[in-house]
Structure 1
Amino acid sequence: MNNEPTLNKSQTDWQHLDAMSDEDIDLSDCPEITPELFAKATVRRGLPNAKTKAQVTLRIDSDVLDWFKSHGRGYQTQINTLLRAYMEAHR
C-alpha cells in the first residue's frame, strides 16, 4: 500500500467548465435513455424511504414477472420505479 498523501487540489479547470454553455457540452458518448435502457437500470439500495408504500395484490402476466425476477433481487422495486416513471410522464 502506498503511504504517500494524496493531493486535495483538483486538476479540473473549473473556470473553463463554468464558462461553457449547454451547447458546448459533448454528449455524443452518452446514450439516449430509452424504455429498454431504463428497464435495465440499477436501483440504489439504502436510500431513505420517503414515501409510504402500500401492499397490494397485482395480477401480472407470468412472462413479465419472470422477466423482472430474472434480473435478480430488487425486481419489485424496479417495477415500482417503472410505474412511477410512467405515472409522472402521464400527469
Structure 2
Amino acid sequence: MNNSFSSKASQTNWERIDTIQDENIDLSDIPEVTEEQMKNAVLRVGGKAVERGQRRVDIFLDAFIVEYFEEKAGKQGYQALINQALADYIHNHD
C-alpha cells in the first residue's frame, strides 16, 4: 500500500474548522440531494449494508414498558410507537 499521500502534513486550517459556525459555511456549490438519489442510497450501520424496510422480531420487554406504550399509542399501535422511540434514540445518540 502506498502511504505517500497519508504521510504528508495536512494543509487544513483545523482551528478555523473547529470555530466556524454552520450558518457561515458556503454550500452554494454543493447540489441538493434528490429524492431519486435517496432511493438509490445504501444504508450502512457500522460499515455494513442494511436492508430497507422492517423485519419481524420476537423480543421480551418488561411489562411496564409494554403497558406504557400501549397506553400512549392509542390507535397507532404500540409496536409502531416502540419502533419510533428506538429510531429517535438512535438518531439522537449516535
**Bin of the TM-score, shorter chain as denominator length:** 0.3 to 0.5
- Report which of the two has the higher share of strand: 2
Larger Rg: 2
Higher relative contact order (Cα pairs below 8 Å, separated by 6+ residues): 1
TM-score scaled to structure 1, two decimals? 0.41
